[in-house]
Structure 1
């Protein structure tokens, strides 16, 4: 009898230990809506249609990249379920799609949704719901506001920083310039314009001879270009998205206006802007960059570009490899994977934001040498370095040093 009692006690103890270890294991795993032992549900909103549809390739590249990650075993054993919707670059539609992703699809976060007006339309909603609006695909300065919007972060160098660099270049090399500015009449365009004026400082009022805005709904900006030429300006700052950037370059050539032309880097695309506008019409345009241009012969034998080409060969063979947006998407996707890996088994929305605000010297494959991703709880801007470049022949030629484009700097 005592022997049986001893066996029962031992069995009970063993069961208790198993239960305790199981509960410890489950206690170590923390999930919010959208994450399980096997899946991480990621939402995304892109303009696959409409006036900014050239950017749709970003969503397609991201989908391909996450297929690659899943094929390699996922993130800490979990597969990414990437749900991407079209908003046509229309803010009311963005709101509709964000609600669908958060409330119906129950995603863990929304990643890299595109455009300043669309992201502005959902920023308060995302923050009220405490759902990460992570690495938005827009360089508006306002995404770096951890105090008021702790659930939103940007990714690329911000627009004000970029335009300050152009302004400083003009002040140094063309101090008597007469500048004409074309900008999209929304937060995106106004953010660039503010940075540009801040960069010119006291000389902004005398140097800028015309600020001309256009609406994203306009079919063509030809009439605006004609007006700007009539000012006699010898410097042109072109703050436009790809469709309108190509129109501006082409129209400049048609009417024989040849100012020193600065093009914001969101439209510095060989494939979707320069080539359709005509290489001969774009010579000498100045822009800026923080990632490797895969069409540049200098990177022909670069391991990063080889890895990028292998990825596209296998997962997105139809991609236009001359389009910077493809490389951009490849790099930002690595940023998301880095954050999710750092989360381990604590896939709560709060921990995602904590990890996103604690990135140190991360170098995704595809960034220019010397450019690194850094964030902190008080600085939500992952990238803040740029290098100037000038179009020569059929490719961009970088010049000068890597510049820290931090607004506060």
Structure 2
């Protein structure tokens, strides 16, 4: 997916509502290794908030989305969050990115101390889910859920027993690695091999060489989009023939753009939201209509764009339920009571104690044309 003038669009949307009383804060990477995904998350939220503002806002007040770049750096995430809470007086936060930034955010208790809700984060690590924070409302299934589906397909249905892993060396990689080992252990299997890559550089060359020597039946990629793409290209160039499967942080459109359809074809990916092309769902029809002006002709809206849109839609509903002059406390209470809320074919379920809003997972594969099949 190619987004036109993404940063300019975000700036214009924010400027247009700079006098708004309803400030929403977001810290995502809009630069660096994860920049494309972060920009898509931010744009997805902006698209929905823009729709709300075009219809008069909430009780006459527009929503002002304030997006800060953290470069996928937890230290910057914490600093951004502090500013969004203290200087921008955000009533809620939305759509953060990454396991390690979320781990540090929860550890610092910034959400708890400020009494501010965060809706949606681009991570499914168990370490941020249990116990997590009561102020963190999660819209994704867990990496454990994703790994279970992948291993079930590979082993239970296809009879694959030699499964290896390539993982990012950080909290995200550790979460996926541990989930995979545990899932294999349930079947009395062990990893056929493992390789790691550096989060900052994204260099997967050594990992590709190590696993090409083993050439297992399948490799699970606990990676983000760009390193997954480079690993795939390097691994196949070395003669590797393993079936490659990746978790939902890998955006298929970023992979195909980076290495070409021929190399990306056949990669399996787990997804934690409905397909952005599934127009049978009202949510997706609305999303496609709202996103269309931001796409070039022939481009497909991405999962990351949809994820940002869903989080914004959910948070908007909570703000509406919070009544006139919403506060952090009233928005938090509204989210806590959002039972089985149907966004139009995708349901999120929160209670006063439950913060894991969804366990939706489906498996997809990159087709010979570069689209996804389910």
The question of a shared fold, defined as TM-score above 0.5 by the shorter chain, is answered with yes
- Cα deviation for residue 149 of structure 1 reads 2.0
* Unmatched segments (≥5 aa) in structure 1: 1-36, 399-409
Secondary structure class of the residue paired with 1:70: helix
TM-score, normalising length from structure 1? 0.79
Equivalent of 1:43, from 25, 30, 38? 25
Structure with the bigger RCO (C-alpha within 8 Å, sep 6+) is: 2
- Cα deviation for residue 159 of structure 1 reads 1.1
* Unmatched segments (≥5 aa) in structure 2: 1-18
Contact 2:275 2:303 in 1 (8 A): yes
Number of residues of Structure 1 aligned to a counterpart in Structure 2: 351
- Cα deviation for residue 83 of structure 1 reads 0.7
Partner of 1:180: 164
Deviations 1:119-148 (A, max 9, x none): 222222222222222322322224434x66
Partners in 1 of 2:227 and 2:110 — Cα distance? 30
Partners in 1 of 2:314 and 2:268 — Cα distance? 28
RMSD: 2.4
Deviations 1:289-344 (A, max 9, x none): 243434x5x64x86554433331244x34695342211222222111112112212
Partners in 1 of 2:258 and 2:302 — Cα distance? 12
Measured at CA, do residues 94 and 302 of structure 1 come closer, stay the same or move farther in structure 2, by a change above 3 Å? closer
Partners in 2 of 1:79 and 1:96 — Cα distance? 26
- Cα deviation for residue 247 of structure 1 reads 0.8
Measured at CA, do residues 169 and 306 of structure 1 come closer, stay the same or move farther in structure 2, by a change above 3 Å? closer
Partner of 1:343: 322
Measured at CA, do residues 118 and 388 of structure 1 come closer, stay the same or move farther in structure 2, by a change above 3 Å? same
Partner of 1:52: 34
- Cα deviation for residue 74 of structure 1 reads 0.9
Say whether residues 1:374 and 2:349 are aligned partners. Answer: yes
Partner of 1:283: 265
Partners in 1 of 2:132 and 2:364 — Cα distance? 35
Contact 1:143 1:154 in 2 (8 A): no
Contact 2:215 2:240 in 1 (8 A): no
Contact 2:184 2:191 in 1 (8 A): no
Measured at CA, do residues 44 and 183 of structure 1 come closer, stay the same or move farther in structure 2, by a change above 3 Å? same
Partners in 2 of 1:285 and 1:143 — Cα distance? 28
Measured at CA, do residues 38 and 252 of structure 1 come closer, stay the same or move farther in structure 2, by a change above 3 Å? closer
Deviations 1:128-186 (A, max 9, x none): 222222322322224434x6622222221111111122122222134452111011111
Secondary structure class of the residue paired with 1:135: strand
Contact 2:139 2:358 in 1 (8 A): yes
Partner of 1:396: 372
Partner of 2:133: 149
Secondary structure class of the residue paired with 1:49: coil
Contact 2:26 2:96 in 1 (8 A): yes
